[in-house]
Structure 1
Amino acid sequence: MTLPPVRLPDSASIQAALAGLDPAPIDADLVPALAAAFPGFDFSLARVDDDYWRDTRSVIQPDGTRVGELGPWMTGELAKDGGDVKATWERLKDTGLQITEWRGASAFVFAPTGPAPADYIQIALGREVEWRAGPVVNPDYRPWGEQELLDPSWPRRDPLPDTDRLAGPVYRLLDRAGNAFVHVRSFLDRCGRIEREKREAKRPEMERRVVRETGPGGATRETPFLNLVPDYFEFVPRELRFFRDWEDSSARPQRVFAHWALDARDYTYKGEREVGFIPRPLKMPRERLLLTPETSVHQLMDRIEAVDGEVGLPFGWFFLMTHGHWVEPDVGLAIAEGLKAQRVRLPDADAAVLLRWAERSYGF
């Protein structure tokens, strides 16, 4: 494999490439535009069906002329009436003024940077369209407070006709939690480092901590916490385990990003650094796989094989299980017990990964 240049894309240069796209052919032009901006990277695009609404709203005249952003504009209108919500509503309800809103769905762009599962970059984007959403005030219902005017709930949430499309589609960086762009290997290194630093900072406390147990006759015994959890400082975050399990299993020949996107986060909350991701499947089976009292381990083996076929990934069921929705963890535990009892078989590499997970499970 020919590796791309050392210089990775950055937010400013990605935004510049996105700004030059024409809305009409934007879906077809996105990957070529990024490839032109960043030579040497083999980009691919995956779109996700997860509709969202931006909190940016505008006010327009009936002819489409833009008046201003809803919040500041409505605040000014209320000020004209001395804060009298009823008077503002009476004055605006027959003006024909409209609210616009941006509706979007997530999209992810990927490009490999090397042969290992974590050797790639991910760009999180939103594909957004601005729509004419509804009247600036609800003409049929008088609001009781200014918040109802500043954050209206009456605009439609159902699909809108194309005649109400005002702008877009456009792609923009989705920087919801500080990670619109990630180099995954570097991100995993950061996850591991931050977790180690957190635990090391607690070392004095952990070394002092004891677990008290009351035995027969009321006698109390104290056991040092670290005697009970000797590997406390060797804890491996679930994000690193996900990629390690991929590399150690029969999924390894395929790219992680061909099957999963990562909702990555890196932010500080109440003085504590939070770094990690939630994996999002790009390919889902037709239905969830649940363990019922009537399900035998041999039936489970048939079903996980079917799941792998549906998502096009060997051992794909396992990673869907760590995600927690499409395959419930009890399925993995049941198959692990079947392996131990030699009632069923998996490829050796997959069996080792599953048994390792069953001993200390993780999930997202």
Structure 2
Amino acid sequence: MTESRLVLAGQDITDCCKKIIPGQTEDILLRQLQNLVPDYPVQLALTGEEWYRLGGVVDMDGRRIANDLIEWAERTYLECGQNLQTLIDYTVEQKLIATKQTGKTLYFVVQTGDRAEDFTLIEIDKTHEVSDRMLVNEQQPPEDLEEFIDPLQPFCIESFGFGHSRYTYRRKTDVKLFMEVINERHRGEHPVQRFMDDWNRSSAGQKKRLSDEWIIRPYQHTGRFGERIVNAEIVNTQYYILPHLEDFSGKKGSALSNLLNRFDRQAGYPFAWFFYMIKGKHVSTHCAEAVYRDIAGDFAYLGQRDEAVLRDWIASPYNV
């Protein structure tokens, strides 16, 4: 596949999500996304871990009072004359319940070319609203509005669901364009860019697409002056049971080569041990040092591509 320009509007993805009632699997959503871009392969690369956020407000019979707990609490607090005790008394009298949104983020990949950076990442949340707690714990009432909204010691109740799950479109990232922006702002070569470059020129890149094993996604963190900084991170999408390569004392030659080949077979592509060394805890950097001692001596079990990548890493180590 040669790289080509992907045209996919976020609104089209939003409309697609609204029309689907989620089931046990994401097959229907995947088919609909594929229909939006029939010329490009789409796959569900990763399902993230479960998270939750504040939901809305319901009464004891499950009738909806508000969709947004924070907005309702702030507005009702004002209606109560900014008197917290009045708000608490009203909430207890009405026996109101706070809900929460539980969800997982789905990461879909649209492949636009053969190189590591040639894909677009689509993030879609799959959420379900469930009851969480009584809005006020009478035994330990909140001391301020912030604690009213998100108490440290809530009065939790048995969970029950409201309606069906839903899909919500979050964002899409053209990884190639995104990394161009990241590289412009980064002093020197960005580790994620180097990871992709090493993949492209290694034997791994000749056998596998990066997005079949790893994805690059944006993330935000707070800088030293409180500013929001956007960066890139690499996430492994596979759940292989792989050995940990840590102790290389006495390992060299065919014994070391066999050890690495076995790791690569379990991972599913050549030179996998190198990329698991760069990202993750499966492979110690002592591995690269041991291999380098071999190829600097009388052994030649690495191909030319991989040897060049390894020599560059020895000269200038990095990790992500």
Bucket of the pairwise TM-score, normalised by the shorter protein: 0.7 to 0.9
Which of 159, 165, 173 is the equivalent residue of 2:161?
165
Offset, 1:323: 1.4
> Partner of 2:38: helix, strand, or coil?
coil
Pair 1:273–1:359, CA change in 2 (3 A):
farther
In the alignment, does 2:189 pair up with 1:191?
Answer: no
Write the letter of the residue equivalent to 1:243. M
Q: What's 1:291 paired with?
A: 246
Offset, 1:248: 1.3
Pair 1:3–1:334, CA change in 2 (3 A):
closer
In the alignment, does 2:206 pair up with 1:250?
Answer: no
Superposed counterparts of 1:296-307, under 5 Å: 296-297=251-252, 301-307=257-263
- Say whether the 8 Å CA contact 2:40–2:110 is kept in structure 1: yes
In the alignment, does 2:244 pair up with 1:318?
Answer: no
Offset, 1:256: 0.9
Q: Which has the larger Rg?
A: 1
Write the letter of the residue equivalent to 1:60. V
> Could you report, residue by residue, the CA deviation over 1:70-92 in whole angstroms, capped at 9, with x for unpaired residues?
11222344445554545543443
In the alignment, does 2:318 pair up with 1:362?
Answer: yes
> Partner of 1:169: helix, strand, or coil?
strand
5+ residue gaps, structure 1: 175-179, 200-234
Distance 1:262 1:93 in 2: 47
- Say whether the 8 Å CA contact 1:248–1:349 is kept in structure 2: yes
TM-score, normalised by the number of residues in structure 1: 0.74
TM-score, normalised by the number of residues in structure 2: 0.83
Pair 1:87–1:156, CA change in 2 (3 A):
closer
The alignment covers a number of residue pairs equal to: 316
Pair 1:273–1:53, CA change in 2 (3 A):
closer
Distance 2:295 2:8 in 1: 45
Offset, 1:278: 0.8
Q: What's 1:23 paired with?
A: 22
5+ residue gaps, structure 2: none
> Partner of 2:203: helix, strand, or coil?
coil
Write the letter of the residue equivalent to 1:65. R
Offset, 1:53: 1.9
> Could you report, residue by residue, the CA deviation over 1:4-26 in whole angstroms, capped at 9, with x for unpaired residues?
6x452132222122222123477
Distance 2:169 2:154 in 1: 25
Offset, 1:254: 0.8
Query: Relative contact order, CA 8 A, sep 6+: which one is greater?
Result: 2
In the alignment, does 2:304 pair up with 1:348?
Answer: yes
Q: What's 2:236 paired with?
A: 281
> Could you report, residue by residue, the CA deviation over 1:239-279 in whole angstroms, capped at 9, with x for unpaired residues?
22111111111111211111112222489977999554111
Pair 1:287–1:44, CA change in 2 (3 A):
closer
Offset, 1:43: 0.9
Structure 1 consecutive aligned stretches of length 4 or more whose deviation exceeds 6 Å? 266-273
- Say whether the 8 Å CA contact 1:26–1:169 is kept in structure 2: no
Distance 2:138 2:155 in 1: 14
Offset, 1:132: 1.4
Write the letter of the residue equivalent to 1:190. V
Offset, 1:351: 2.2
- Say whether the 8 Å CA contact 1:94–1:139 is kept in structure 2: no
Q: What's 2:136 paired with?
A: 137
> Partner of 2:94: helix, strand, or coil?
coil
Q: What's 1:148 paired with?
A: 147
> Partner of 1:261: helix, strand, or coil?
strand
Write the letter of the residue equivalent to 2:235. R
Q: What's 2:217 paired with?
A: 263
Write the letter of the residue equivalent to 2:65. V
